[in-house]
């Protein structure tokens, strides 16, 4: 018998304590070899004046155990409360969010009887990097940040997950017909990493039509990997498609730390009624058991839970179309699962985790990058200006000339408005003026940019942002 693994547990808010009690009761009865360290997170901590929802002392336990089983929490409305999930993801570099979404037909009503999909969502980058600005009175900006190592790591994680869990196909959703540089890079890395996995089928969909296909024919998908925003939205939609939001668990994986939870919230209106479904958190705990190297216990719990569903035992949120048995409470549901420990489902597919099914983080390939040349080709200067038309601004900017730099064009809200533009478009007070070397293909220097900005300032303009334009290996690293 191996030693117990220490884990950190938070009971959370609302229905949290009830579903955590149920979950721990089941996994302990199954023989989970764990030592629990309890911490407090959530509403009480927020309301005590801590805007992160977690006390400084609780981080110590998390740093020590590196495994966090967390019940949902309530984030108080209003105020500057920070999302505990976002803080934890950032503190521990939890870059992969893994959400299996499975149908349990015919025992749970769903429009999609055949569905066994795992969504692997990048968890740190994209529009969630938290880089946002109000730049002018009229214009706000959020930065979509996609990095090469961040993309490689999540994509490699998805392929490794597929191999470890005997999956057949990995699908990538992107929008690189529009976001050619950011999503274009994600797509390219998917293709490159995919070559290392010839045994797996690979496909790439534009996210809009891909999402439509996922929502109507989920049986055609297996493992899906996507950037943060697409994954956030689609994993909720996909979980809901299985029949209840109360059914799905989720793992957040980092290089050394992992957090496991249900995907739903704290359902405050249901709190204290012994009615909530503990299944989402229980399946989160099953993923945790696999992660900490107890696949035997994970399989035992998962199979007992499947057998319980097959026998028609369910909480209020599940539509049971087979047995027409009244729903049971949270505690009673847990007791029924405990009774079935050691049994396997007969209609639903039994699970069998092995030591290789884990949620280990995947590193980077470690391949040495070939050196990429980088040349400064121009600069976009963003101006806050509301005193005239595009032509007025263009005529002034055209007169500003410094060594190696000349106005190429001005755009407003992404549309070219000077030297030629549509008279019909609405202009905002944020203007992007692109300056490049008038000698085509020639580079510029940082001093050229500094001189340009000085001239722009002398003309009384408020430049609010500059963005250098680079070519990488001769290819434009900016949207044309």
Q: Which residues bind ligand NAD (CB under 6 A)?
A: 15, 19, 72-75, 85, 245-246, 261, 264-268, 270, 276-277, 280, 317
Cβ of 342: how many Cβ atoms within 10 Å?
10
Give the residue with the Cβ less far from ligand NAD, 249 or 421: 249
The least distance separating ligand NAD from the CB of residue 71, rounded to whole angstroms, comes to 8
Asked, as a colleague might, if the bond just before 468 is cis with ω within 30 of 0, I would say no
Give the residue with the Cβ less far from ligand NAD, 89 or 175: 89
Name beta bridge partners: 468. 379
Give the residue with the Cβ less far from ligand NAD, 15 or 32: 15
* Residue with nearest beta carbon to ligand NAD: 265
CA nearest 128: which of 223, 231, 257?
231
The least distance separating ligand NAD from the CB of residue 324, rounded to whole angstroms, comes to 19
The least distance separating ligand NAD from the CB of residue 79, rounded to whole angstroms, comes to 12
Measured CA to CA, the distance from residue 428 to residue 431 in angstroms comes to 8
The least distance separating ligand NAD from the CB of residue 183, rounded to whole angstroms, comes to 27
Give the residue with the Cβ less far from ligand NAD, 194 or 280: 280
- What are the start-end ranges of the H helices in 36-175? 43-47, 56-65, 84-92, 148-164
Contact 304, 333 (CB under 8 A): no
Using the structure block, give the residue that is written with the tokens 């959530």: 42
Give the residue with the Cβ less far from ligand NAD, 246 or 358: 246
CA nearest 306: which of 51, 28, 125, 107?
107
Burial class (CB in 10 A: 0-12, 13-18, 19+), 370: exposed
Q: Is 189 left (phi over 0), alpha (psi -120 to 50) or beta?
A: alpha
The least distance separating ligand NAD from the CB of residue 238, rounded to whole angstroms, comes to 15
The least distance separating ligand NAD from the CB of residue 101, rounded to whole angstroms, comes to 15
Torsion, Cα 326 320 16 308, to 10 degrees, reads 90
The least distance separating ligand NAD from the CB of residue 39, rounded to whole angstroms, comes to 14
Give the residue with the Cβ less far from ligand NAD, 328 or 379: 328
Cβ of 260: how many Cβ atoms within 10 Å?
27
Cβ of 416: how many Cβ atoms within 10 Å?
17
Give the residue with the Cβ less far from ligand NAD, 73 or 253: 73
Give the residue with the Cβ less far from ligand NAD, 159 or 333: 333
Q: Is 102 helix (H, G, I), strand (E, B) or coil?
A: strand
The least distance separating ligand NAD from the CB of residue 244, rounded to whole angstroms, comes to 7
């Amino acid at each position: 018998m191996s030693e117990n693994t220490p884990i950190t547990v938070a009971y959370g808010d609302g229905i949290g304590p009830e579903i955590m009690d149920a979950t721990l009761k089941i996994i302990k009865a199954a023989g989970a070899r764990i030592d629990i360290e309890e911490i407090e997170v959530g509403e009480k901590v927020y309301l005590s004046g801590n805007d992160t929802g977690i006390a400084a002392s609780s981080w110590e336990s998390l740093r020590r155990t590196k495994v966090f089983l967390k019940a949902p929490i309530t984030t108080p409305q209003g105020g500057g409360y920070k999302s505990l999930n976002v803080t934890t993801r950032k503190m521990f570099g939890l870059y992969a969010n893994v959400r299996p979404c499975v149908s349990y037909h015919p025992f749970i009503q769903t429009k999609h009887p055949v569905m066994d999909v795992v969504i692997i969502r990048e968890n740190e980058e994209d529009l969630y990097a938290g880089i946002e600005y109000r730049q002018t009175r009229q214009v706000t900006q959020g930065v979509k940040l996609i990095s090469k190592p961040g993309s490689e790591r999540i994509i490699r994680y998805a392929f490794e997950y597929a191999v470890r869990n005997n999956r057949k196909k990995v699908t990538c959703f992107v929008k690189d017909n529009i976001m050619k540089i950011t999503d274009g890079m994600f797509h390219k890395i998917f293709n490159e990493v995919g070559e290392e996995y010839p045994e797996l089928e690979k496909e790439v969909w534009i996210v809009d039509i891909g999402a439509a296909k996922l929502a109507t024919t989920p049986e055609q998908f297996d493992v899906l990997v996507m950037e943060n925003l697409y994954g956030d939205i689609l994993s909720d939609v996909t979980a809901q498609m299985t029949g209840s939001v109360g059914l799905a668990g989720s793992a957040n994986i980092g290089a050394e730390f992992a957090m496991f939870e249900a995907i739903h919230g704290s359902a405050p209106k249901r709190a204290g009624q012994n009615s909530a479904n503990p299944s989402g958190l229980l399946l989160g705990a099953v993923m945790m058991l696999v992660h900490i190297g107890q696949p035997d216990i994970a399989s035992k719990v998962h199979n007992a839970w499947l057998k319980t569903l097959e026998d028609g035992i369910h909480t209020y949120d599940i539509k049971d179309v087979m047995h027409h048995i009244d729903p049971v409470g949270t505690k009673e549901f847990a007791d029924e699962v405990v009774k079935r420990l050691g049994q396997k489902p007969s209609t639903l597919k039994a699970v069998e985790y092995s030591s290789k099914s884990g949620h280990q983080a995947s590193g980077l390939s470690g391949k040495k990058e070939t050196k990429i040349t980088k040349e400064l080709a121009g600069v976009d200067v963003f101006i806050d200006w509301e005193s005239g038309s595009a032509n007025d601004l263009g005529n002034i900017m055209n007169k500003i000339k410094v060594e190696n730099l000349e106005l190429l064009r001005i755009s407003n809200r992404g549309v070219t408005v000077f030297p030629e533009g549509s008279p019909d478009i609405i202009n905002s007070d944020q203007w992007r003026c692109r300056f490049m070397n008038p000698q085509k293909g020639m580079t510029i220097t940082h001093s050229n940019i500094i001189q340009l900005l000085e001239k722009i300032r002398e003309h009384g303009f408020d430049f609010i942002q500059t963005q250098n334009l680079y070519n990488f290996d001769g290819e434009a690293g900016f949207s044309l």
